[in-house]
C-alpha cells in the first residue's frame, strides 16, 4: 500500500506561482509513475503532469506545457508540481496519484489507471 499526502495549495492572482508537494509513504519502491490530476467544479478529473519515477521522463497536458513542471526528490519520496503563470482556468482541486505498473499512451492520463490517491489540495486563481 501507498499513502500520498499533498500540500502547497492556496490562492494566487493570475500570473502568480504555486508549488505543490506530494509526500509518498509505504511501498514506494514499487511505484513507476507519479502524477498530478485536477478537478474543477462540474468537470471531470483530468491529468496535468505525469512523471516516470524510474527514468525521470515527464509528460504534460497541452494546457500546462511550458508553465508547469513536475519533479521528484527520491530521497524524500516527494513529487512536486511547480506551477507558474497561473490562469483562472487552472483553479481546481489538485490530486497526487501513483501507479506501480506500466502505462502506455493515453493510459497516462486516465485517472482510473492510478490506484493510489492523495486527499487533494485546493488551488484558487483570481483574475
Confidence band for 79, pLDDT divided at 50, 70 and 90 = very high
Confidence band for 49, pLDDT divided at 50, 70 and 90 = very high
Give the pLDDT confidence score for residue 82 in this predicted structure: 98
Confidence band for 114, pLDDT divided at 50, 70 and 90 = very high
Give the pLDDT confidence score for residue 68 in this predicted structure: 98
What's the chain's average pLDDT?
Answer: 96
Burial 37-61 (b: 16+ CB within 10 A, else e): bbeeeeeebebbbbbbbeeeeebbb
28, 54 contact by CB (below 8 A) = no
Give the pLDDT confidence score for residue 25 in this predicted structure: 96
Give the pLDDT confidence score for residue 63 in this predicted structure: 97
Give the pLDDT confidence score for residue 45 in this predicted structure: 98
Segment 88-116 shows an average pLDDT of 95
Give the pLDDT confidence score for residue 48 in this predicted structure: 98
% of residues, the chain, pLDDT over 70:
100
Amino acid at each position: 500500500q501507498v499513502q500520498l499526502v499533498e500540500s502547497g495549495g492556496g490562492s494566487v492572482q493570475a500570473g502568480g506561482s504555486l508549488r505543490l508537494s506530494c509526500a509518498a509513504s509505504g511501498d514506494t519502491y514499487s511505484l513507476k509513475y507519479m502524477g498530478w490530476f485536477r478537478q474543477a467544479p462540474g468537470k471531470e478529473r483530468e491529468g496535468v503532469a505525469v512523471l516516470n519515477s524510474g527514468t525521470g521522463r515527464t509528460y504534460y497536458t497541452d494546457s500546462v506545457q511550458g508553465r508547469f513542471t513536475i519533479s521528484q526528490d527520491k530521497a524524500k519520496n516527494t513529487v512536486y508540481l511547480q506551477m507558474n503563470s497561473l490562469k483562472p482556468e487552472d483553479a481546481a482541486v489538485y490530486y497526487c496519484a501513483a501507479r506501480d505498473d506500466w502505462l502506455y499512451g493515453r493510459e497516462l492520463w486516465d485517472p482510473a489507471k492510478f490506484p493510489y490517491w492523495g486527499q487533494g489540495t485546493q488551488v484558487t486563481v483570481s483574475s
